[in-house]
Amino acid sequence: MTESVESKHDVIAIGAGPFNLGLAALASTVDDLDLVVLESRTEFRWHPGLMFDDAMLQVSFLADLVSLVAPTHSLSFLSYLHDTDRMYPFYVREQFHPTRREYEHYLRWAVSKLPSVRWSHRVEAVRWDAGASLFTVHVVHADGRRSVMQAKDIVLGVGTEPNVPESLAALPGDKLLHTADYLHRSESVEAAGRVTVIGSGQSGAEVALDLLRRNAAGGGAVSWLTRTVSFAPLDYTKLVLEMTTPAYIRYFHDLPQGKRDELVAEQWRHYKGISTETLEAIHDVLYQRDLTPGLTDVELRNGIAIEGSTVDSNGRAVLTCRHRDTGRTFDHVTDLVVAATGYKQRKPAFLAPIENLVRRDEKSRYKVALDHSIELDPAVSGRVYVSNADLHSHGVAAPDLGIGAFRNATILNSVSGRELYRLPKNTAYTSFAVPGGAG
């Protein structure tokens, strides 16, 4: 079938997660900016495999699509509450943090008001047309039709994908699932005599809490193993939170890459820790289950590294474990493993045609400028921006919903060459740099 040029735009954003939805929301009020968002899925869903009824967002409602740079925008969380006639119930509830289910409801409400988001548009390839000085984006539609769209600039918001470490790779699919699929695999969880969660973080803790509640109600045995020295809480103290502000991002971006990598490794509790509320709920379940005799076994172990896995002759998963403090090894036998092992950056195949134009660092990561554009061959006049692929360049705020509006406003200002949105400057009390502004 012959491809046709469907349309030309100023910006094409690929991927319709919260960050690119925020980009579309901020762009929707700029009359002379033509931006579209392309998404392969048929509708918006946000982490459905972890959508527990009581799961709370780890940031406040102000970390919506727009408020931190445009608080009067019509697609703010408060506008959503007003439009759905839920303002007073939210006010009386007196909770700064909404549930994840409510936040997804807000995002779906925003999507309904953003005609620039195109669903069932799978991007197959992105090419650079030097003659036209435009990117050409090759799209496959749900009905199989193919088309080409063109844009001056591209924004990548394809997000991350579940990461399963090599030490668990030998396990077959019926013995292993990632936390991202936990609620989709409820039958497997119910059927297992023992479920073992590997890794901590908020997702691992929420799965462990659900399993412990099942156990307290007469369900199967539960093990929770993590290599960290403790089931560590999210560091959510006020001055630490200033490391997720634009002030720290600017400071961090100026540092040598080696120092940035050191800091990201040290600051893991800023974005990989467990909320205090979840830890308290886990301890409460453990405490209350003491009053019910005859329940199946529960074990929590930290400082445990998983070094290998296999399936024994009885069809059970066997994990080779090392106790990090003593170096001693032991086998852990279980029926089902839940990998709470985080996420990794997607490597979109559609970028293959321009891969030779992309400049990467020694670890094959994008070289990302302060305005979130990646370094390209000087012959390319268009720009490619990244969203949540800049942990190594912009620090631990990168995956934080609270930085999304600021990053998107920065990108839109860069795209347009003017100040579409005034960026906040007074964002932290802490001074991060050497006195006098030296590097």
pLDDT tens, position by position, 257-299: 999 999 999 998 888 889 999 999 999 999 999 999 999 999 9
Strand partners, 373: 385
pLDDT tens, position by position, 323-344: 999 999 999 999 999 999 999 9
Mean pLDDT score of the chain = 95
* Helices and strands in the chain: count of H runs, count of E runs: 12, 17
CA angle 415, 420, 423 (to 5 degrees): 100
pLDDT tens, position by position, 106-154: 999 999 999 999 999 999 999 999 999 999 999 999 899 999 999 999 9
Q: Which of 344, 336, 341 has its CA nearest to residue 172?
A: 336
Distance CA 69, CA 435 (A): 28
Other CB atoms within 10 Å distance of the CB of residue 65:
28
pTM over 0.85: yes
DSSP3 helix / strand / coil % (the chain, rounded to 5) = 35, 25, 40
Distance CA 429, CA 1 (A): 59
In the prediction, which pLDDT does 113 show? 98
pLDDT tens, position by position, 208-267: 999 999 999 999 999 999 999 999 898 888 999 999 999 999 999 999 999 999 999 999
Distance CA 167, CA 306 (A): 6
Please tell me the number of Cα atoms within 13 Å of 137 on its side-chain side: 28
pLDDT tens, position by position, 386-408: 999 999 999 999 999 999 999 99
**Helix, strand or coil, per DSSP, at residue 216:** helix
pLDDT tops 60 at residue 38: yes
Query: Do 206 and 200 form a contact (C-beta atoms < 8 A)?
Result: no
Other CB atoms within 10 Å distance of the CB of residue 18:
23
Distance CA 50, CA 100 (A): 9
The set of residues, in sequence order, having a beta carbon less than 8 Å from that of 99 and lying 6+ positions away, is 53, 54, 55, 56, 57
In the prediction, which pLDDT does 236 show? 83
pLDDT tops 80 at residue 437: no
Average pLDDT over every residue of 182-191 = 96
pLDDT tops 70 at residue 1: no
Q: Which of 14, 10, 428, 128 has its CA nearest to residue 248?
A: 428
Residue-wise burial string across 203-212, b where 16 or more C-beta atoms lie within 10 A, e elsewhere: bbbbbbbbbb
